Structures are given as structure tokens and as C-alpha cells.
Structure 1
Amino acid sequence: MVDVDSAAVWPDDADDVEEAVLSNWFVREGTTVEEGETVCEIQIEKVSVDVPAPASGTLTERTVAENEDFRRGDTLGRIET
């Protein structure tokens, strides 16, 4: 199991920002993804950031819903490898 970790994609120029919004999921639970494939998009202070899959496998859980706030370092989802 591999976590889709928000800290891995947090921009360096947003170090002073601790919260963001998950704006869009591009894959549903149960969908097979390839490592590097964009699985969701987050919004940090009006900047959109694509979140790639950290590993190939099946997205088994989305722990943050669309339009939901989360903190840097939170797990956004889980991939079964």
C-alpha cells in the first residue's frame, strides 16, 4: 500500500502555507493507475498543482473528497501496489 502524500507535491514557494483544497479527482476508487499518472489536482493559494501517482497499482481509497480542505502532509488517497 502506498499513500498519495500531499507533502510530496507541495511547491517550495508555498512553504508558509499549511492548507489547500483538493479541487478534482481524475480517477475513481478501484481504477488502475500507472506511476506518474495524474490522479488528482490540488489548489494552493490560487495555484493548481497536479498530483501524480507515486506508484503503479489500484487506487483503493480517496481519503480527501473533492472541494475538501486538507493540511500539508495529509494523505490524499491510497494505492494498492
Structure 2
Amino acid sequence: MSEETTVSASSVWPEDAADVEEGYLANWFVRPGATVEAGETLCEVQVEKVSVDVPAPVDGTLTERLVEEGDEFTREDPLARIDSDD
């Protein structure tokens, strides 16, 4: 049975930007429908002047991007959904 997992940037938010609540999505490296492995880089986000890679939290299929390149988001906003096989 598959389970849907939401991906956010909160776990990789830079410590030196702890008081910053917004960032923007710089690049996607994975397209919807692609199979991903836990730890694989899904996208790059920009917070203040720091670029951070956001990894897949689980193995599965990237089913949906919820934020597109150039879009702003908050620390807790979901960036994507992954359908896992767990």
C-alpha cells in the first residue's frame, strides 16, 4: 500500500536564517512521475543569500510539485508530494 509524503524545506532551513520565514524555489531537479530515492536532491531553494538542496525524505515517485521555480514559499509550506511504497 502506498503512502503520500509531503516535502517541505523546514528540515534544511539554514540556522543563520532562523528568523526568516520566506524563501523561493530556485531549481527543480526532478520531474513529476520520476522515481526518487531517500536523500536524492529534489530541488534547490534560496533563503536570504543561502542556497540549500532539499532531499527526498522517502523512496517513491514524485507525484506533484506544489511550488514552481521562482515562486516564494514559507518555511512550512509543502513543496511537493511523493507517493512512497511503504
Distance in 2 (CA, whole Å) between partners of 1:58 and 1:65 is 18
Per-residue CA deviation, residues 17-52 of structure 1 (Å, 9 max, x unaligned), is 010000000000000000000000000111100000
Aligned counterpart, 1:58: 61
Distance in 2 (CA, whole Å) between partners of 1:5 and 1:20 is 12
Aligned counterpart, 1:67: 70
Q: 1:46 aligns with which of 35, 45, 49?
A: 49
C-alpha deviation, 1:5, in angstroms? 1.3
- 5+ residue gaps, structure 2, are none
- 5+ residue gaps, structure 1, are none
Q: TM-score when scaled to structure 2?
A: 0.91
Alignment of 1:1-81 (within 5 A): 1-81=4-84
Q: TM-score when scaled to structure 1?
A: 0.97
Distance in 2 (CA, whole Å) between partners of 1:16 and 1:51 is 19
Give the secondary structure class of the aligned counterpart of 1:66. coil
Give the number of equivalent residue pairs.
81
From the CA coordinates, give the structure whose radius of gyration is larger: 2
Give the secondary structure class of the aligned counterpart of 1:13. helix
